[in-house]
Amino acid sequence: MSPGNDSRAWIVAGALGGLALGFMLIPLRSLTSASNLAFVFMAFTIVVAELGGRSAALVTAVVSALTLNFFLTEPYMSLHISKADDVVAFGALAVCGLIAAAFGRRREQMSELAERAGDELVVLDKLVSRLRAGAPLDEVLDDLRKTFGLRAIVLRDDAERPVAAALGGQARASMPETDIAPDSFLPADESRLRFALRGLRLPEGGGRLWLRAGGGVGGGVASVDIWEEDTQGFNVSETRTLTIAASILGLELARRQAKQPGSP
């Protein structure tokens, strides 16, 4: 189930669960105060916040507060509250539900970060495994092209000669005119920044990532040229992963060149 569908499922479960709790607790409303019954709703809201995130927790908190008011506070079957203690119970439940929802959002963010980190590791682990197995660089580049939705990717040596390429069916790819900073993924000409739904887009004519060995832009041992195909842009996680992958390719190129006959 996708994260979006999972969140919607918990929203429905939280709303229906809040109503169900109200019906289940009706026999107890004559035995104890509404403030005591509010703890049951509070516990349920915390569970939904932990498992379903902020949106589900917000819905659960609102439904739970209204259910407590309608079914369990006098006068029953009305949104009016006659007792001061019940007003306090209603307010406390609503506030605690909002707090639980806030922590649910924090959990969502941590979960998203963990998922992104996991995706990065999967991509990089596959890249390193293929390189260790001696896979042709053209095939490795084509994997990266498909993974990141690129139109083409070319690996060049220190003399700017193409060493390997994945052109996606194109006959050739012209050399990009814009350098991209490896640390920020921003083009050297920052007046030409392009953004889309997911984040930063590549320059229209493609971009070049220099894999430096201590020098400035243009003074590296290798470079990676990339052109976008997906116009939705790249998020921060993708740009970081792509930059690390390019650096790994540069190291692999240097290693393979060092093993060639005649190398110093």
CA 165 to chain centre: 29
CATH of the domain at 146: 3.30.450
Three-class SS of residue 182? coil
* d(C-alpha 185, C-alpha 201), whole Å: 10
Q: Quick one: 108 and 144 in the same domain?
A: no
Per the structure, the count of domains in the chain is 2
Residue 57: predicted pLDDT: 82
* d(C-alpha 49, C-alpha 70), whole Å: 23
> Could you report the per-residue pLDDT of 101-116, keeping only the tens digit for each?
777 666 665 566 556 6
pLDDT(3) > 80: no
Residue 217: predicted pLDDT: 41
Average pLDDT over residues 152-162: 89
> Could you report the per-residue pLDDT of 164-214, keeping only the tens digit for each?
999 987 767 778 888 888 777 888 776 678 888 878 888 888 899 888 543
Residue 122: predicted pLDDT: 87
Average pLDDT over residues 143-157: 91
Q: Quick one: 142 and 254 in the same domain?
A: yes
- pTM given for the model: 0.58
- 54: containing domain: 3-114
- Return the axis-axis angle of helices 236-258 and 137-147, rounded to nearest 10°: 180
Say which residues have a Cβ less than 8 Å from residue 127's Cβ, sequence separation at least 6: 140, 143, 144, 245, 248, 249
pLDDT(261) > 90: no
Residue 155: predicted pLDDT: 92
Tell me, yes or no, whether 131 lies in a domain: no
Residue 84 or 253, more confident = 253
Q: Quick one: 75 and 144 in the same domain?
A: no
Tell me, yes or no, whether 8 lies in a domain: yes
> Could you report the per-residue pLDDT of 15-69, keeping only the tens digit for each?
899 899 888 988 888 888 777 888 888 888 888 887 887 788 888 888 888 888 8
Amino acid at residue number 37: L
Average pLDDT over residues 132-136: 91
pLDDT tier at 152 (50, 70, 90 boundaries)? very high
Tell me, yes or no, whether 119 lies in a domain: no
Long-range pairs for 165-171: beta carbons < 8 A, 24 or more residues apart: 165/138, 165/141, 166/138, 166/141, 166/142, 168/142, 168/229
Last residue of one domain, picked from the residues 53, 82, 114: 114
Q: Quick one: 94 and 11 in the same domain?
A: yes
Tell me, yes or no, whether 122 lies in a domain: no
Last residue of one domain, picked from the residues 114, 146, 167: 114
